[in-house]
Each structure stands twice: as structure tokens, then as C-alpha cells.
Amino acid sequence: MTQVDPALDVLNRALSGDDSALSFLDRTSSIYILDATDPYKPKTYGGWNFIHQAMNEIERNEAGSGNTGLVAHVQLLATMAQRLARRSPATDRGLVATCITNAAQYHASEAEAEALISLNSEIREIVMGRIAAMAFDFSFHNQQNTRKSAFSDNVSMEKLCSVLAVNAVASGPNAINHFMKEWIIPSLSSLPPFAVACVTYHLAIEAQSKTSPAGTREILQSLSYAVVGYVIAPLLAHSIGESSYPPNYGWNCRVASISLRALERWCTVTDLSLPQIKHICAKQQVNFVVVISDALYSDSDLVVEAMAELLEVCIRTNKEAKVSKERMTQARYIMEVDEDAFRSITAEDLFRIEAKEMEDVLTELITAVGLQRIRFSERQAKGDHGVCRNLARIGATIGSAALAGLLSGQISGGASGLLELLMKAGAHPHIHISSIAIVVLYQLLPVDSTFSPRLLPLLQHRAIIPYVLNGTVPSLAAGASGGIDFYEFENFRQNVLVEALLSCYEQNSKYYMDSCTSAVEEFCSSSATVEVSFQLEAALFCLSAVALSVNKPFNKNDQGENAHSQQLSRCTTALSTKPVFLPANPLALAQLNRFIGMYGSWYTSFASPQALNVAFELSVSTINMSGTAFSDREPASEMLKEMAVTPFSEAAKATRILLVRSPKSFATQNAISLLASAWETSYIATNRGMLTIEDREELCKGICCVVASLADDEREKSYHAFAMPVVECLHTLTKQADAAKDQGVGRLTPIIPKLADELRLLSTMVKSFSSALAKASIGNASKHYSSSSFTMQASVELLKKLWPCLSHIAASFSSDKHISASLGFFLVGCVPTQLENEDAVGFVRELFSLSSSMIPDTNTSKAPLLAVYEFVERVIDLHGSKIEATARVLAGNATAVSSTTAHEVGKQLEDTILSSVLSTKGSLGTAWTRDKEQGQGQSAFESKCKPVAEEKPTDPDSLAAIFTMLTSAAENCPTFLVYLPATEGGDRDNDKLISRAIESSVAVLVEPDFELARTAILFLISVMKLIASAEALVLRGALDIVLSRVRGTLVAILIAGICGGLHPTLLDPAATLLYQILRTCPPQDAASLYEPALQQEQFKLGDSARIASAKFLSLCCTGEVTDMSLMSFAEEVWDLHQHDGARSLAESDRVVAFMEKIAVGLV
């Protein structure tokens, strides 16, 4: 490269990552520049000019110096040409015309402008001609040449071929037809096979683009017979046959691979089926099934992978009862009849014909693929995992598609060879290969009654976690032996093995349980070693995998016992020996406790008391181990670090399940003593990092159930004794926090999370004990005994002693996110479910007082507010109906006597809401900070008053929590919400909180925080549903005032968002909101909402689609289409707008299909 090669210099700098060079290439690809320095010889310069110049410079360099190090430059240039070629010639002409029109110093006549436009078109044609000449020149495909051009590189050549295909598609259906029928097909014998295959492949790929011109798909369908019969099939047959010979083995494999991929893409875009391909090839004297059967013997991973992808696309499961419109069109073109003659064939007729032909094809393929079982073993022995993986994919595809035919007997000949291949694949050491086969193997179990006993041992072996032993020390080795790491292996077991094991169980449950039970007994023997612990873990995993099926109520024998009680009792007896290797293997210990938890219902319903005690002692003993086991010095600690769920977490969960399901079984002195020991150990284990707060909560819930089941004279005393460690720990940690607070944040940091955990544990204890007491009291004759005040009484006595401490924590430390979250958890969990007397109201009053003390005076911390809003939402959820009744009376909308207690709670609720909003309103945006509603009630953009600068919310979390809280209020106490003032003591008629909330929710829809937008949308949906409710007639007027100001803006934002601006997870709620707006707005105003919205620049589907969309939205207004249809409409429109913008969406194939769908209501 010399200094006189400016284009190559730009490419070289771009490849080095130079920003200016990359920017230049981007601009050159996007716009044209007019050079009118010489007004008598003006010229335009753009992408095609640059490519033309660069190609000249590359050829000159290669011819002069023999420089072949320009492969990357050619590939970058070809990528640029692809981008340019996606613009249609008409679009290119328009860009040049715009360039000339916008020129400030040059005013061309119409003839001069047309000459410049034509000159640019000629440059494009010249460049395309040069690319075609290279792509179809055999000298660029001669693998024996010692001197190669950068243009002859395989990747470069494929990119150049793709430019030709892209240009044909961009030029329209007629250009595609001309390109294939007038150029490729007639000259096939004189063109390089690789280039022809590449062009065909990329033609189909480009036709799949969302912006491919209307008619592209149908023109490809019309070409299917010629392309498959005259181009792809001969290329494939020849390259597969020649790929066995050494001279051009690699090249022929590439041709075969790209031919298979071309066929696969062509089938995808045209909906061409395998029977149709077979029919086309038969007319050309090519047996397609034989050809692809021969391809299976290729040693090239490229060929076998392409074959796997082709079969996955072409082989249908035929579960659909009808044939698509596109398939019908493709069939008509293959039959070479016009539309009138084709009308006699129905979709059902075509379905039946193709289903029968597919069965014939599958019968042949089952035999052909079954023959690969020997070759699979050979390739596995050579370490060719790529070929093995793709053979497994092919076998799985064939097996899945043939399943129904094999079961019904319509596909004869059996599938022993195919099953053998899949079994070999299922046993492959690499899980990525094994899982492909296993997914299909268990579906094929009903095909052969003797197959289940063969498959189960394979699955049991696959369940063993890969490990290695260094002497007697085990460690994980999933990455070394299984091709994946431990987490991926666990994912494989849960998502693949579990389904397969369930199928084996359903096929022969007794054999399954007997096999697993025998394994457990063997691995728990006294002679078992630590190595066996991994086999025991796998056996327990297999038992846990089917626990839900085993525990089904109807799974009983004639004596009314569980059908597998005998096997489960044997397992429990074996486990009661507590194998010595368990403490050395946390994986086995965790699986043991998971097994106990999964079979908790059996232990508490069917098992003997001895078996239940064994399970209880095993789980509790594991918890007691957490205080000392697996120290950093122990080798097993490394294994523990890899585990997502520790054995102690599983033990806590298993213990909770046993205690909750049968609390009275453990109300003995011995059991309570064991639980007390476990509870004490939990504090030691927490300090060691072995138990999380979630684990302690699990244990706490179980113990609460046991305590609640005790006799009346023991219950309260035991409860307070159980709670005492928490109370003492809270006092101690609070004192430590007070002392550390004065010494700096560093001293306080380690204390705060512990304090937060104890607060959460206290909340769990109060809530769980109350729930357990209520459950234990069911059936008691005394209504008072089962009331909420009774169930909370013991906890209230406990909390009275703690309340000063809790208030101090709330006032001093609630600014910390950990403390505020735990206080919120406490407040939410302690809200009484009933307000039946003064005690309950008094307790709620204390909770409101505690929440108020958390509200900050400044904007320094938002964490406490989230907890307060959660508490308020809980109060509304539980008592909103009572508050609503009181609010209606106060508003004059009802005459019934309201509840005094509900009135007090409503007043406290209002004070808390307003004070919390006031404390953070400065960070919520303009709608919350203005003094009152704009002007005479107009929105900010309509008011005649001096406009206020729009402020964006800086605290999205608090604002989202406010929207969530108000959504609950709209659903549970709408009158209370509608008459809530915006400020404390404010005007309930002219300055409503809901007005500000609605304006704020509309404003945040354009914010990038999609979680905030979601809460805003859900709030607006609740308001719209409120308007539509017959019960809210008296509120409609107040709501309509504010909604009338924002409805148009809201519809415009929603439609713009549906056109690609919204996060995809917001599409359904946004469509629901839009539907509610259209259904609730006055009919005469509906069109004035959606028609301007569809005129926005974000809608890029063209005028025809705009008219069709407006018609569809009009049907939403009248309720002729459902909200589900509008959701589908929104998804379609959003998806259509996800494109690179190189070509216009308007009048594309996809848009035309979209308009057809909404015209007949199929969205």
C-alpha cells in the first residue's frame, strides 16, 4: 500500500479502530456529497464511488507488488457494499436527488440533475458488474493456484456473492426473477458451484428480511421448482459424491455445506416441505433421500451440521391440523397450475397428502439414520465431538417427528437402529451431546416396552455429578469430564434429566422405585467409601425427581397406603445408618435433606413414627452440623463454595416441611430439645456464614408451628422462650450500633446487616406464630379464640417490651437500606387481618406511628419510603373496603353509618401517604412540585399561566412505589383515593393527589426506566378500569376532568412506544391501557386520538398500513376486537419496527402480510 491509495488508507485505519475512518465509512455509506468546485463538471460522491476506487487500488496493489495481505480490507469493503446494496436503486436515486436539491452553491437544471443521478446509477451497475465478474470467475475458485487474490478468500468470496443477492432483492421481485432465470439457471454449467450455492443461500436469507419488498416471498416460491430442481439438487448430489475424493475434498465439502444451508434457508422463506423437495428432485432423476443419506457419512462437521439444520427446519411434526396459506401457495407453484385450477384442492387435502408422504420419507430416514450408530462410536473414539453432536441432532429430529407414526404403527419397520444411535448419544460423556438425545429418548419409551429398563440405568449414571478423587478427598470435575461446569450440569439435571426420569417412572413405577431403593441401600452399606457418596447423591436425586408423582393422593394401594411406602421405608432405614462419608460430601448431604423435604408429605401422612423420627433427626442433625462443619481447612469446603444451595439450607427447608405438616408429632420433650439446640446453633452458623437469613426463617416457621400446637398453659411461655434470643440479640446489636454510630460509618457497616436480619426474623416469628395459631384454632367453638386479636395477643405482649427498641431503630437507622427493608417487612407482616376491636386498631395505630418515624425530613435517603409505601399498600389491600365505605359517607355518596375504627385507620392512612409524598416530592418531577393545578385546571402545556420548567424524576424507585400503592388504592378504595388532596390540609376538590399522579404517570412513560414505566401504566390501567366500572359513576366526572387533558398525549406516547420505543416487556400492559382508553373515551372523540398518533414519525409502515391500523383501532373503540387482539397488534407493530433502517418498511412483504392479518382480525 502506498500513499497514493487513499481508499485503502481509510480501510486500513478503520480496521485499526480509528474513529475518524469509521465515521467516514459510515457517512459515505449513508449520504451523497455534491462536488461543484467546477460548476461545468459537477459530480456526486458516495459509497459506490468509494468501493469502485478501493477495488481499483486493491487490484493495483496485488498486480504490482503481489500483496495478498488485503483479505480483511476486502471483507470490510464487501460488508460496506452489502449495506449499500440494501438500498434499492430508486432509493439511491432519491438520495442523490436530495443531495443536489440541498446544494447551496449549485443550482442544477432538471436535465443536469438527471444526468448526475444517472451517472451514479451507472457507477452502481459498474461495481455490481465487477463483483459479479469476480464471483463467477473460475480462477478465483481454483484451489490449486499458488498465488491467490484477497478476493478469492472463502469468506471474501461468500460476502461478494451475498452483495449480488442483496442487490437483487433490493431491486424487487422482477429483478430476482431475472437474476435467477436469465442469468444463474441458464449458465449453471459454466459457473463456479460455490458461487452459485452462495448466491442462492444469501438470496433466501435476504428475502427473510423485514424490509424485503412486497412480492419477494412469492417470487421465491415461484422459483422453488427451478432453484431446487436445477440448481441446489444437482450441486448437492455432485458435491456429496465428489467429497469422498482427496484432491478437492475440503472444497467439495464447502460446496455441499453451503448447498444444504441454501436449501434450508429456501425452505424457511418459502415454506417448502420435505415431501415437496422429494417430489421436485424425483422429476430431475435425483433421489433426495439417498443424497442426504449419503451426506450423513461425510467426515466434515460442516456438512453434517448443515444437514442437521436442514432436517430440523424441513421435518414437521405434523401436529397442526391445517396447512398455512404460504404452504398452499408453494404447492400451487410446484404443481404449475393457476389459482382457478388449484381451488379444487383444500388445505385439508394437502395436509393429508403431505402427512402420508412425510411418513414415507421418515420411514426411509429412520433406517438411514439408524445405520449411523456404528459410525457414531467410531467418531466418538476419534474425539470428533462435532460430528457426534450433529448426528445426535439428526437422530433426535427424526425420532421426535416419527414418534406419533411409530406409536400408531403407521411407520413400520421399527426403530431399533435409531434407538441404538440415540442411546449411544445419550451415553456420550459430553452433556451437550447427551442432552440432545435424552430429550427424545424418554418420549420414545412407549415405542418399546423393554426400552425403559435399558434407559433408566443410563439416566441414573448421567445423574452422577462428575468428580475426581485425590486420594480420599473428592472434588468436582464437571468441566474436565463433561464439557460443562458444575452449574451447567445442575441445569442439565433439572431441565433434562428430571423429565426423562419422570417418563421412566410413569412407564414402570415399581421397577423405577425398586431400582433406586436398591441403589440407596447399596450405597449406605458399612463398606461404602467416600467415592460412593456421589452415587448415593445421584440415587437420591432420582428419587426426589419423581416425588411429586409418588406423593399424588391417588397413588395408593388397596390398603389405602402410599403405593411405594415399602421402598421409601427401606430408603429411610438405610439412611438412618448415617453413612460416615456424608460429612465429607456436602452434595450428598444436601441431596439427603432435599429428599426428606420432597417426601415430607409421605413422612407425615403414611410413614411409621420411627421413619418420621429418623427423617426429623437427620435434618436437625444437619442443622447442628452447621456450627462446626466444613471449615476452611477441610477439603470439602471448596465443594461447598461451588454449591448454589447448601446442605444446611436444604436441612432448614426439610425441617420446616416436617414441622409444619405435623407439628403435634414433635411436641415432645426430646423433639423440642433438639429444636432448641438447632435454634441455638443457627446463631453460631450465621456468624460462620453457613446459614442465611432465609434458612433461619425456614427453621423459625417450623418451630412456630410446633409451639402453637402446645397446650394453652405451655404455649405462651414456650413462645417467649423461643423469642428470647431474638429479643436479646436486637437489644445487643442496637447498643453496638449506637456506640459505633459516633465512631464513623466504618464501624457501623458490619453491624447494620446483622441488625436488619434480626428485625426480619422477628417479623417472620410474629407472622408465622399468628398464622400457626390461627390454623391450630380452626374448629374451636370460640370465635374469640380464632380472632386476629387473639392470634396476635402473645406477639403483642412480646412487642410491647421491644417497642422502644424498634422505635429507636426506626428513628436512628432506617435510612440504611437493609434496616428499612427489614422494618418494611416487619410492618407488612404485622398488619392485623381484621379490625374487630380497639386492641387491633391500637396495634395498627402503633404501626402507623412506627412508619411515620421512618419518613425522612429531607431528601437524603429514599430507602425508608419504599418500606412505608409497602406498609400502606398492605393496609389498603387488607382493609381498603372498610376505608372505602367510610370515604363514601364522608364524600356524601352513601348514607350508611361508617365504622369508627375504619375512619381512624383511613385518617392515619391519609396522613402517612401525604407526609411521605411531601418528603420526597422534590425528586418526583414537575407534576408533584407545583403549588396547585395549572391555571384553571389545565395541564402545564395548556395553561395560560407562565409555564414551569419541566423537571424529570430523580427518584424513580420512590415514584414507582407510589404508583404501585395508588394502583392498590384505585382497586380497593377508589373514593378515598379520588378525594385525597395533593397536600396535607389541601383542596380536595381542585387539587387532588390523583390528578398529579395521572399527569406524572403520563410524563414518565417516555423515561428510559422501564420498570417505572410499568408501574405508571398499571396505575393508569386501574384508573381507566375505575372509569369503566358501573360502581364509579359518581367518580367519573372528577376523573374525566384530568383525563380529558392528557388522553391525546397518552395515546400518542403509547402508539409511538408500540412503534419500537417501548421495552418489549411493556407491550402487553401498554396495549391493555390503550384498549381501555379507546373503550372509555367518547365515541366521537376516538378518531381524534389515534389518527394524529399514527401520523407520528415513529410509525414507519407506510400510508396503507396507517389506514389499516386506524381501521383496526376503530374496532377497538366499539369492542368489536378484544384487548388480546390489540396486544397481538402491538407485538406485530413493535417487531416490524426492529430493523436497521437500510430499507423502508413500507410496502414490504412483512407489512403487506401484517395488513392482511389485521384486515381479517387474525392478529
Q: Give CA separation, 978 vs 205, 828, 1024, in Å.
A: 56, 24, 13
- The whole-chain average pLDDT of the chain stands at 87
DSSP-derived secondary structure for 577-623: T--TTGGG-HHHHHHHHHHHHHTHHHHHHTS-HHHHHHHHHHHHHHH
C-beta neighbour count of 871 within 10 angstroms = 28
- The answer to whether 6 and 67 have CB atoms below 8 angstroms apart is no
Q: Distance between CA 1136 and CA 1146 in Å, rounded?
A: 10
> 1018 falls in which pLDDT band (50, 70, 90)?
very high
Q: Give CA separation, 1140 vs 93, 209, 1095, 1137, in Å.
A: 20, 10, 21, 9
The H or E element containing residue 469 is strand 467-470
Residue 349 vs residue 861, higher pLDDT: 349
Beta partners for 213?
1148
628 CB-side CA count, 13 A: 5
* Mean pLDDT confidence for 585-613: 94
The pair phi, psi for residue 485, each rounded to 5°, is -90, 180
CA angle 532, 534, 537 (to 5 degrees): 115
pLDDT surpasses 60 at 938: no
Percent residues over pLDDT 90 in the chain? 55
pLDDT of the residue at 948? 42
pLDDT of the residue at 939? 42
The SS3 call for residue 467 is strand
> 867 falls in which pLDDT band (50, 70, 90)?
very high
Mean pLDDT is lowest, of 103-117, 858-872, 980-994, for 103-117
pTM of this structure: 0.86
Q: Distance between CA 202 and CA 221 in Å, rounded?
A: 15
- The answer to whether 543 and 501 have CB atoms below 8 angstroms apart is no
Strands 33-35 and 43-45: antiparallel
Q: Distance between CA 700 and CA 968 in Å, rounded?
A: 31
What's 44's DSSP letter? E
Burial class (CB in 10 A: 0-12, 13-18, 19+), 508: middle
User: Which residue from 873, 820, 876 is spatially nearest to 850, judged by alpha carbons?
Assistant: 820
pLDDT surpasses 80 at 1069: yes
> 943 falls in which pLDDT band (50, 70, 90)?
very low
- The answer to whether 853 and 811 have CB atoms below 8 angstroms apart is yes
Instruction: Please compute Rg for the chain using Cα positions.
Output: 37
User: Which residue from 244, 234, 249 is spatially nearest to 295, judged by alpha carbons?
Assistant: 244
Mean pLDDT is lowest, of 512-516, 712-716, 832-836, 850-854, for 832-836
pLDDT surpasses 70 at 1163: no
Q: Distance between CA 232 and CA 239 in Å, rounded?
A: 10
- The answer to whether 180 and 191 have CB atoms below 8 angstroms apart is no
pLDDT of the residue at 839? 77
pLDDT surpasses 60 at 320: no
DSSP-derived secondary structure for 829-850: HH--S---SHHHHHHHHHHHHH
What's 43's DSSP letter? E
* Mean pLDDT confidence for 1013-1024: 95
pLDDT of the residue at 486? 86
User: Which residue from 354, 332, 191, 169 is spatially nearest to 273, judged by alpha carbons?
Assistant: 354
Q: Distance between CA 68 and CA 831 in Å, rounded?
A: 78
- Residue type for 43, please? K
C-alpha dihedral, 348 to 350 to 355 to 361, nearest 10°: 180
> 85 falls in which pLDDT band (50, 70, 90)?
very high
- The answer to whether 626 and 571 have CB atoms below 8 angstroms apart is no
For the chain, percent helix, then strand, then coil, each to nearest 5? 75, 0, 25
Cell 423433639: give the residue. 671
Q: Give CA separation, 110 vs 40, 100, 113, 115, 1118, in Å.
A: 15, 10, 5, 9, 51
- The answer to whether 764 and 700 have CB atoms below 8 angstroms apart is yes
pLDDT of the residue at 796? 82
C-alpha dihedral, 288 to 292 to 293 to 298, nearest 10°: 150
pLDDT surpasses 50 at 786: no
Residue 64 vs residue 912, higher pLDDT: 912
* Mean pLDDT confidence for 444-451: 83
User: Which residue from 110, 356, 392, 86 is spatially nearest to 213, judged by alpha carbons?
Assistant: 86
pLDDT surpasses 80 at 395: yes
Percent residues over pLDDT 70 in the chain? 91
> 910 falls in which pLDDT band (50, 70, 90)?
very high
Whether the CA torsion 557, 559, 560, 562 is positive or negative: it is negative
pLDDT of the residue at 945? 36
Highest mean pLDDT among 413-427, 474-488, 1032-1046: 413-427
- The answer to whether 847 and 831 have CB atoms below 8 angstroms apart is yes
> 1066 falls in which pLDDT band (50, 70, 90)?
very high
pLDDT surpasses 80 at 790: no
> 783 falls in which pLDDT band (50, 70, 90)?
very low
Cell 398455512: give the residue. 324
Q: Distance between CA 56 and CA 1092 in Å, rounded?
A: 51
What are the start-end ranges of the H helices in 1057-1122? Answer: 1067-1080, 1083-1094, 1103-1118
The x, y and z cell numbers of residue 977, run together, are: 383515593
pLDDT of the residue at 329? 87
Beta partners for 739?
none
Strands 473-476 and 43-45: unpaired
pLDDT surpasses 60 at 780: no
Q: How far is CA 471 from the centre of its chain?
A: 44
> 801 falls in which pLDDT band (50, 70, 90)?
confident
**Long-range CB contacts (within 8 A, 24+) of 135-139:** 135/160, 135/161, 135/164, 135/192, 135/195, 135/198, 135/199, 136/191, 136/192, 136/195, 137/192, 138/192
**Long-range CB contacts (within 8 A, 24+) of 1001-1007:** 1001/963, 1002/1046, 1002/1049, 1002/1050, 1002/1053, 1003/925, 1003/926, 1003/927, 1003/950, 1004/925, 1004/953, 1004/956, 1004/959, 1005/1050, 1005/1053, 1005/1054, 1005/1057, 1006/1053, 1007/952, 1007/953, 1007/956
> 299 falls in which pLDDT band (50, 70, 90)?
confident
pLDDT of the residue at 146? 53
- The answer to whether 851 and 873 have CB atoms below 8 angstroms apart is no
pLDDT of the residue at 322? 67
The x, y and z cell numbers of residue 1162, run together, are: 387474525
- The answer to whether 594 and 543 have CB atoms below 8 angstroms apart is no
The x, y and z cell numbers of residue 95, run together, are: 438520495
The pair phi, psi for residue 800, each rounded to 5°, is -60, -40
Q: Distance between CA 119 and CA 1135 in Å, rounded?
A: 37
> 1162 falls in which pLDDT band (50, 70, 90)?
low
pLDDT tens digits, 500-544: 999 999 999 999 999 999 999 999 987 777 788 899 999 999 999
> 315 falls in which pLDDT band (50, 70, 90)?
confident
Residue 389 vs residue 1085, higher pLDDT: 389
Overall size of the chain counted in residues: 1163
pLDDT tens digits, 616-651: 999 999 999 999 988 888 878 888 888 889 999 999
The pair phi, psi for residue 661, each rounded to 5°, is -75, -30
Mean pLDDT is lowest, of 286-300, 786-800, 1058-1072, for 786-800
Q: Distance between CA 983 and CA 932 in Å, rounded?
A: 9
pLDDT surpasses 90 at 393: yes
